[in-house]
Chains A and B, each alone.
Chain A
Amino acid sequence: MHKDDYRNKIANREALIGVGLVIFNFIWWYAFAYGLGNKDPSEYTYVFGLPAWFFYSCVLGFVVMAVLVTIIVTKYFVNVPFDDEGEGK
């Protein structure tokens, strides 16, 4: 029973991290897209040939998420056994 408790804690924490990442991802995506994209296209600035809103929201946003996910998973995700001891076949 105690073993279950410690694994549950880890699982709950990691699920919350997942929710946090989605919220961060959404804010980044939304803020750049509609923050920079909400003007006349003739006033757009460009990064690497793409409109700035698109570059920051979609291209950079994806790269940031990929890096962030990699760091968080390797640093903060804990390895746990899935089967209870002695229960394997």
Chain B
Amino acid sequence: MNWEAIYPLIGFLIIIFLVGAWAGKRVKSSDNFLQEYFLGERSLGGFVLAMTMTATYGSASSFIGGPGIAYNEGLGWVLLAMSQVVTGYFVLMILGKKFAIVTLKYKAVTMVDFLKERYQSKWVVLFSAISIIVFLFSAMAAQWIGGARLIESLTGMNYTSALFIFAASVLFYVTIGGFRAVALTDAIQGSIMFLGTLILLIATIIAGGGLSNIMADLNAENPNLITPYGAEGNLTPTYVSSFWILVGVGVVALPQIAVRAMSYKNSQSMHRAIIIGTIVVGFIMLNMHLIGVLARPILPGIEVGDKVMPLIALEVLPTWLAGIVLTAPMAAIMSTVDSLLILVSSSIVKDVYLNYMQPEASHQRIKRISISVTAVLGIIVFLMALNPPELIIWLNLFAFGGLEAAFIWPIVMGLYWRKGNKYGALASMIVGVGLYVFFDVFYPEPLGMHSVVLPTVLAFFAYVGASLMTQKRVMSN
């Protein structure tokens, strides 16, 4: 066991526990359990809001997977990753004040509550809740596996114990503390991600003998590594640009992100969050992926991309500092998982149970059910991650794109276009998700773009078309 690297990890977990326990007290004393547990009573300030958005969005792929691909593809992959800077300002600007005002008026707790009030349709609600539960459940399982693998590689524990530690920590603070615990721990985790990135960047540049030196080494190995076109020259501008939809503007429609756009205190918090969020997200995305490229001449020949980030940290930093820096990806994974957990739980409790099964449930009962659903969900994910079923892995591939294709127009058009109605929303969701899965399976990358682009465009026409065609029908009701 590598104790010097383990101490920082233990310290990190203790801090997270304390925050969770503190938030748990707030949950106990709150007189509006649902608003507190699933939305933190709309009290987030600018810094926490920015950090929780960034940290929820920045996941295993930003810290482990992404740098690994950048290691193999070169600067072209950093260019692609930079499409994510957009998320820092676009989400809050587009959903913006309108979303906050409307969701407050509707007394919405989840994104689906908004859709329910806006479209007044059982089918829209059920379809949304089911997509959220299915897609995000799979995404969550995939992230847990990543978290456990990371602990495994850092500490030398076996996979099962690593997974157990990871699961127990997340479950503890999410179950008792709810959304507030998630947001506050996200703020800590986001700060760790930011600092970890900064330290590792500086150390890597120094270890490589300066940027010019590293670029010269890369150029000598394969000149393609320093072009925008990828190591094999097959990253076309069209393909790279299409990621602006998947990981850029489309992020607006991810429920775990959108719900945050209704959780802040006032418009000052929102303004501050836009500024902080843009800086933090851009800094992390640019530099983590750049580190992946810079690592190549320092540690050539790493075969498994996911190991690049842990290995380079251990190579260029003293062990104790590497331990601290490596809590960053841990933080990234945890901060994504906790948000997904609370969101899936809210979807089951609020969107399905309270809406259609037991609308009259008492305060005590809601409380008990919310906490048990969260805990049971966590345990199911744990069991699945022990031996991940193929279906989960397959579904995870579609998770983000699928949710984006489903929700982007029902949310955005629902906010800004009065004529949009439930038929439009349903048509748009079915066309978006259906075509996305269809294209990805049978005809991947149509027109050289990521498979999510075309279904998203077509879903727009489905929304507008179906809304206009049913205009009379809705009027006469």
Contact = CB atoms under 8 A, between A and B. Distances in A.
A8 B237 CA distance: 37
Nearest to B222: A41
Interface string B248-285: 11000000000000000011100100110011001100
Most buried by B among A48, A49, A82: A82
A41 B90 contact: no
Interface stretch (B223-231, B344-352, B370-378, B424-432): B223-231
Contacts of B271: 73-74, 77, 79
Interface residues of B, number: 49
B219 interface: yes
Given A15-B98, A66-B282, A57 B79 contact: yes
A89 to B, nearest CB: 8
A29 B83 contact: yes
B78 A58 contact: yes
The interface residues of chain B, by DSSP majority, are classed as: helix
Contact of B96 (A14, A22, A46, A59): A14
B212 A34 contact: no
Contact of B237 (A18, A30, A54, A66): A30
Contacts of B448: none
Interface residues of A, number: 51
Nearest to A36: B228
B411 to A, nearest CB: 12
Given A4-B101, A10-B97, A54-B78, 13 more contacts: A12-B416, A15-B93, A33-B228, A34-B237, A37-B229, A57-B79, A62-B282, A65-B282, A70-B275, A77-B271, A81-B266, A82-B104, A83-B104
15 contacts: A17-B93, A33-B228, A34-B237, A46-B212, A48-B211, A57-B228, A62-B282, A62-B286, A65-B282, A77-B271, A78-B267, A82-B97, A82-B266, A82-B267, A83-B104
Interface of A: 4, 7-8, 10-12, 14-15, 17-19, 21-22, 25-26, 29-30, 33-34, 37-38, 40-42, 44, 46, 48-51, 53-54, 57-59, 61-62, 65-66, 69-70, 73-74, 77-84
Closest 8 A-B residue pairs measured CB to CB?
A: A49-B211, A18-B93, A41-B223, A49-B212, A11-B98, A37-B228, A11-B97, A62-B282
